[in-house]
Amino acid sequence: MKKPTPPGNSQGLSRRTFLGGAAAASTLAALDVQAQPSPSNAARAPAPAAGSFELEEATVSELQAAMQSGRHTAHGLAERYLARIQELDRQGDTPLKSVIELNPDALAIATALDEERKAKGPRGPLHGIPVLIKDNIGTADKMQTTAGSLALVGAVPSRDAFVVERLRAAGAVILGKTNLSEWANFRSTHSSSGWSGRGGQCRNPYALDRTPSGSSSGSGAATAANFCAVSVGTETDGSIVSPSAASSLVGLKPTLGLVSRSGIIPLSHSQDTAGPMTRTVADAAALLGVLAGIDPADAVTASSKGHAHADYTRFLDPNGLKGARIGVPRERFFGYHPATDALITQALELMKAQGATIVDEAHIPNASKLDEPEMEVLLYEFKADLEAYLAGLGDRTRLKTLADLIRFNEEHRDTELPWFGQELFLQAQEKGPLTDKKYLKALAACRKLSREQGIDAVMAKHKLDALVAPTQAPAGFIDLVNGDHWLGSSSSPAAVAGYPSITVPAGYVAGLPVGVSFIGRAWSEPVLLRLAFAYEQASKHRRAPGFAPTADLRQVAKV
């Protein structure tokens, strides 16, 4: 999920922050946009006709009200979303390719939930709500669970992932699986985010020649395009908040341990988590209440006892910024894209107008020291955790080791390695067991530098409720030849610490979304949701995508 720091990059920016972008506030930014070539003629082909959609931008509460009144049914909602996926995701010269597989039982499940509603009433806020989940989240049904790789086709898990069990118990209708950056974007140092051997190249619905960002690329693009009500992504470092920002969504990365990882194809047990990707903060809060829970199969979730809430919507307050202390970590997390900085400056001014105290220059200590130990930890844990997952599949796969996957990719170069390689796989393969002193030293450094000497230190020093920074720059071009072009992001401190963060739409540059991130201490989801909701209600930046062939450079000077 992270690339090594490119030579000459003094900021040491992280793996999935691969975004180039349009600019607006300065000549430098404008030149940056205009200088980038289009990746192909196909990317400039006519956009699909979006047309009008009855359920466009519908929220969970609105859909529940429609089902309760009888105006809609769960079957009808699922049918409409499935038809839209077929129309806009799979057809035309530039299909979005955000959905990797549809659930053949979705309509039958929806029908059963309609009957249950009539007989007993709804189970809760997600009863009958159509949901998409990322293709590394296990389902023991007629769908595949592959992390986008052809290597795992046919290796169906013996049980649902815990979060899937929670969704089904809540009455959600799982429409299908979303495309992703293969192996959670931890295969190559030159990957194109949103590409997988099984799903092809996912596109950004705001500009079809732009990256959807990764690794929860399909979840981001599909939710933004109104292919579902809400979706579930996963993150190790940036893979929820990055694609959410790129598609003008709310993306919430929970505290490590709030949401179970059992049944999810792993990258790193010290950083992995699943989380909501939605169009509103209220929907993220509703979904988080369903996903959170203690799972005996994932020991880290025991730490959430006393911290988890069944209903996070009760923390939403339109006046939630009043009296809040917001820190601004300008060092390292600003300055890589002037137009993005301009939008976040506007966001901070709005927060101040809503009653927040803005504490400028609230730098996160040691943020620049995280990249090297984080990568060391990820390489070790990826090999160990993935091989444990493969062992758990039993005789459903003959591939048992990372070496087996490396060999599979070499034997299927035409479909798995046509554009970029598997450098990270090869680096991980060289690592030893999790008892190695080098691993233990790197893990200890990550925890100390990101927690007590990082986020905790700056928040205690300034008595902060949250830190606020740009999530990342606007989306760069899809480039299958050279890989992602990226500038910067703010995801790493919270990711390495295992602390929560939430991104909210902050505006647009040349029609490309920009997000603002709220970052907090462990178990501070209620505080972050309150702040994010208040900002969202005051700003109202979210707008549906138009499936444009490319970014509108006429808007470059209109930040």
Find out whether 155 and 164 touch, Cβ atoms under 8 Å.
no
Helix, coil or strand: residue 81: helix
Q: At what angle do helices 281-291 and 162-169 cross, to 10 degrees?
A: 110
How far is residue 330's CA from residue 317's CA, in Å, rounded to a whole number? Answer: 27
Positions annotated as catalytic residues are 134, 215, 239
For residue 71, give both structure tokens. 């105006």
> How far from the centroid of its chain's Cα atoms is residue 19's Cα?
15
How far is residue 275's CA from residue 277's CA, in Å, rounded to a whole number? Answer: 7
How far is residue 230's CA from residue 255's CA, in Å, rounded to a whole number? Answer: 20
Residue/partner pairs of 294-303 with CB below 8 Å, 24 or more apart: 294/260, 295/162, 295/260, 295/262, 297/162, 297/260, 297/262, 297/263, 298/162, 298/260, 298/261, 298/262, 300/256, 300/257, 300/261, 300/269, 301/257, 301/258, 301/259, 301/260, 302/257, 303/257
Using CA of residue 276, residue 282, residue 285, residue 287, what is the dihedral sign? negative
Q: Are strands 173-178 and 130-134 parallel, antiparallel or unpaired?
A: parallel
CA–CA distance from 124 to each of 164, 295, 502 (Å)? Answer: 16, 20, 24
H or E stretch including 131?
A: strand 130-134
